[in-house]
Amino acid sequence: MNDDQILAMFRNEVFSAGEGAALMAEPGISRDTCASQIRAFQQRNLIHPEGEVRRSGRTAHKLYSYGALGVAKVLSLLTADFSMADNDMFSSVAAHLYGWPLHNPSNDCGWRHPIEAALAGTIKGEYWVFRLDMLRVDESGINDVHPDLQPGTRLARAYIYDLDKGLAKDRAINAPMPRGSVTMHLNLPFKRLLRNVAGAN
């Protein structure tokens, strides 16, 4: 698929929570679990439906794009594989997946959101990685970046990037040292999510 075809797919194909859950499910994470997660993430404003509704009344379904399902998949894996559930941390993750940070070298591809770039890259054979750094305001120097934060404040810093391009040097090298990091290779989970898309396997 070329970029125009992928873009059209991202804009035109939408899924109910149940349909999206069928794409997100994998061994150890059931379809029912994924459907509950999609609804919970949407209620917590972590993923955003496309503004369309299928049917009406009690049978109405919010509809989700591949991008929203991609964000839900990352949050689902953080929940299942790393036992994370902190809403503030999840909010930081979702905000990053939906918005390009400055100086990300992967932000030259024209996609609306980083999550769309990662999904499109997976279709085209690229290898994308997600990293989450956990920091706490202390002697690390982060107060130079956030002088309004009090000592002890916990922060989360998320990245999603094409492994071949890597992280921007000013963020990866000059940023304060994290207390710890989680890295997820998204190639296989995203291939599962995109398994009905030609060229994604």
The answer to whether residue 200 sits within a structural domain is no
Question: What pLDDT score does 107 carry?
Answer: 52
Question: What pLDDT score does 173 carry?
Answer: 46
The answer to whether residue 58 sits within a structural domain is yes
| Residue-number span of the structural domain to which 166 is assigned | 3-193
The answer to whether residue 104 sits within a structural domain is yes
Question: What pLDDT score does 71 carry?
Answer: 97
Q: How many domains does the chain have?
A: 1
Question: What pLDDT score does 172 carry?
Answer: 46
pTM (predicted TM-score): 0.85
The answer to whether residue 56 sits within a structural domain is yes
Q: What is the 3-state secondary structure (H, E, C) of the chain?
A: CCHHHHHHHHHHCCECHHHHHHHHCECCECHHHHHHHHHHHHHCCCCCCCCCEECCHHHCEECECHHHHHHHHHHHHHHHHHCCCCHHHHHHHHHHHHCCCCCCCCCCCCCCCHHHHHHHHHHCCCCEEEEEEEEECCCCCHHHCCCCCCCCCEEEEEEEEECCCCCCHHHHCCCCCCCEEEEEECHHHHHHHCCCCCCCC
Question: What pLDDT score does 93 carry?
Answer: 93
The answer to whether residue 125 sits within a structural domain is yes
Question: What pLDDT score does 52 carry?
Answer: 62
Average pLDDT per run of 10 along the chain, which is 201 residues long? 87 91 95 96 93 60 92 96 90 88 54 89 94 75 59 79 74 63 94 81 58
The answer to whether residue 199 sits within a structural domain is no
The answer to whether residue 128 sits within a structural domain is yes
